[in-house]
Amino acid sequence: MDPARWLDKKEQLFCYAYDAFVEESMPEAVIFPETTEEVSQILALASAHQLPVTARGAGTSVCGGPIPPATAW
């Protein structure tokens, strides 16, 4: 995957730690897949390593849905 579609630096991840809800939780990484094939590969890899995945759209939710769990690891 193109490194430009992968974020793992704290300053890059901060804006993905919240939505319009009051809770925050910093993700470990953010990946921007462009095809269903990439989504499948990412989810297969995460499953094989028992890594949690949180799907996110625009981040405009007001219920905390796209925020990763604080106890993910």
Residue ranges per structural domain of the chain = 1-73
pTM: 0.73
23-72 pLDDT tens trace:
778 888 899 999 999 999 999 999 999 988 888 876 666 665 666 666 54
Give the Cα separation of 41 and 20 in Å (integer).
30
- Domain 1-73 belongs to what topology? 3.30.43
CA 56, 52, 63, 19: dihedral to nearest 10 degrees?
-50
- Measured between alpha carbons, how far is residue 45 from residues 15, 21, 29, 42, 53 in Å? 25, 30, 14, 5, 11
Instruction: Enumerate residues 6+ apart whose C-beta is below 8 A from 20.
Output: 59, 60, 61, 62
Whether residue 27 contacts residue 54, with contact meaning beta carbons closer than 8 Å, is answered with yes
